[in-house]
Chain A
Amino acid sequence: MHSPLLRRRAVLAALALARMAALAGAVQALLARRRLVLRSGWVMKADDR
């Protein structure tokens, strides 16, 4: 972990993970606004369940 190359790789990986998490959050927020879209991805009508 002392190698500059390894450190750079670790930083880049952390940034990528953070970006993925932010993206997932944004998508979930977008989907949540549509009340018929469930977390599982199924798009349902309100009286389906």
Chain B
Amino acid sequence: MIFGDLAALDGAGFRPAVCIVGSEPAGLSLALQLERHRIPCLVLEAGGFAYDADTQDACGGEVVGDRYAELAATRLRVFGGGSGHWEGWCRALDAIDFEPRAGIEAGGWPIRRRDLAPFAARADDILDLPPPARPDRPVNEDLQEIGLRVSRPVTRLGTKYRRQVEDSPSIGLLLDSPVTDLVPERGRIAAARIGAEGQGGEVRAPFFAVCAGGIENSRLLLWANRLHDGGVVPRPATLGRYWMEHPRVDVGDVIVFDFTRMRAAGGMRFYAPSEAWLRGRPATGNFGMRLQVGEGLPRALLRDAMCVAPELFRKVAKDGLACSARARLAWEQVPLAANRVELGRARDRLGMPRTVLHWRKSPQDRRTAEVASVLFGNGVAASELGRMKILPWITEGGPWPDEHPVAGFHHMGGTRMADGPARGVVDRDCKVFGVDNLYVGGASVFPTGGHAPPTYAIVQLALRLGDHLAGRLAKE
């Protein structure tokens, strides 16, 4: 059901058991799971069905630290949220991603991969994912070739589920309803306030789930907490902190000996370290390497290779089957408290402080990039796929290259999941510590990010949250 405004909602007598802030993949997946349990919920979406520049403006902010994209370009205030510009790549987090790891002080989830596994089939269905093309397979003892699944054409959740939400008797939707405050009352959240102060109105519900995105979750909770003197997140030690990205950077050029091996894989292959290798490397992030075929075989690269190993590359050139490929690395940042979302002085048109994002790559990130490059180069050679030349910015110890593609725009952390409020904002059920009825959905609850694109785990977590809320409502 779609309600035109708050008056229409009141007039219809719709009484949601759960108020969901945001229709990002987390919020929509949660609503769909609650629908299966026949639990009425109301989704409050800040945007509409179509992109609107004025609405999107609230996503803007400042980045302090490393080069990053315009914040507003990395988020989307529209029904379906970030799924509107999602690239469609999916992979479940690895088992090791959930575990505490040596040298990663703030690592370790309070849940394990097996806790999310029951929601895999439903997540596949929501995201329209085909079965894995092939299982992961070892390249050598340190490296494995991995399979990523891709939603093609990319499923836009706002488009896919618009009709279902319109027709649903248990999912209510209010568009153009930006939540600007959460009102606490005796250890619970009583209402979500919509719109600028003095305008809009408020929605009351027994439970609230903030699913507004990996930056917006922190921003809203920080702001509401400031307005209510810590009454929204009573234990805010890590609120906004340990924010993470998946940085991306080109690390090498590969001469692939036989282009048909790349063509068979659609011109693109993915690799990751073996679990054993990762366990033996303290303070090193998990990583994924994408090898993408380039145009032909650049003469300069071949000449360079011939200087190093003339006989080998003379033979390669003579065979006429070689091509070049570019190795691009994406990796898991070691979570650091200093990388954080803060409230700035500037305000958006709704009166909320704009985001100030502090984000820097750390020495651990640098080390991950270096060891990943060597590991991958060794794997390429060992498997006789080809030979790799690591780019000079790594071998010569130069700064991060200016032209690197920055990141995957995967916003993680800020309201991290932990076993206690000293280490995080939400517990293993995504409930905010110290508040009985406030939950958070989305990648902001990730304590560590692994290397996989986060959408799949976001959906799994949201489905799990739906079951948890259904269980609580059944008891109450």
A2 to B: closest C-beta gap in Å: 30
Smallest CB gap from B377: residue in A: A43
A38 to B: closest C-beta gap in Å: 6
Smallest CB gap from B367: residue in A: A30
Neighbour of B397 across the interface among A27, A43, A45, A49, CB < 8 A: A27
Q: Which residues on the A side are within 8 Å of B396 (C-beta)?
A: 24, 27
Smallest CB gap from A16: residue in B: B399
Smallest CB gap from B379: residue in A: A43
B141 to A: closest C-beta gap in Å: 15
Neighbour of A40 across the interface among B308, B312, B380, B394, CB < 8 A: B308
Q: Cβ of A43 and Cβ of B370 under 8 Å apart?
A: no
Q: Which residues on the B side are within 8 Å of A31 (C-beta)?
A: 374, 390, 395
Smallest CB gap from A45: residue in B: B381
Known pairs A34-B374, A36-B381. 19 more at Cβ < 8 A? A27-B397, A28-B395, A28-B397, A30-B371, A37-B395, A41-B389, A41-B391, A41-B392, A41-B395, A42-B304, A43-B374, A43-B378, A43-B380, A43-B381, A43-B389, A43-B390, A48-B309, A48-B387, A49-B312
Q: Which residues on the B side are within 8 Å of A44 (C-beta)?
A: 308-309, 381, 387
A29 to B: closest C-beta gap in Å: 10
- Total contacting residues, chain B, CB less than 8 A: 26
Q: Cβ of A40 and Cβ of B374 under 8 Å apart?
A: no
Interface residues of A in 12-40 (CB under 8 A from B): 20-21, 23-28, 30-31, 34, 36-40
Neighbour of B378 across the interface among A26, A34, A38, CB < 8 A: A34
A38 to B391, CA, bound (A): 12
Neighbour of A42 across the interface among B382, B388, B394, B398, CB < 8 A: B388
17 of the cross-chain contacts (CB-CB < 8 Å) are: A21-B397, A25-B397, A31-B390, A31-B395, A40-B304, A40-B389, A40-B395, A41-B252, A41-B391, A42-B308, A43-B374, A43-B378, A43-B387, A43-B390, A44-B381, A44-B387, A45-B381
A21 to B252, CA, bound (A): 22
B interface residues (Cβ-Cβ under 8 A, vs A): 252, 304-305, 307-309, 312, 370-371, 374, 377-378, 380-382, 387-392, 394-398
Q: Cβ of B387 and Cβ of A42 under 8 Å apart?
A: yes
B311 to A: closest C-beta gap in Å: 8
Q: Cβ of A24 and Cβ of B387 under 8 Å apart?
A: no
With A25-B397, A27-B397 already in contact, the answer to whether A37 and B374 are too (CB < 8 A) is yes
Q: Which residues on the B side are within 8 Å of A42 (C-beta)?
A: 304-305, 308-309, 387-390
Q: Which residues on the B side are within 8 Å of A20 (C-beta)?
A: 397-398
A15 to B390, CA, bound (A): 27
B249 to A: closest C-beta gap in Å: 15
Neighbour of A37 across the interface among B304, B380, B390, CB < 8 A: B390
A20 to B366, CA, bound (A): 13
A28 to B370, CA, bound (A): 11
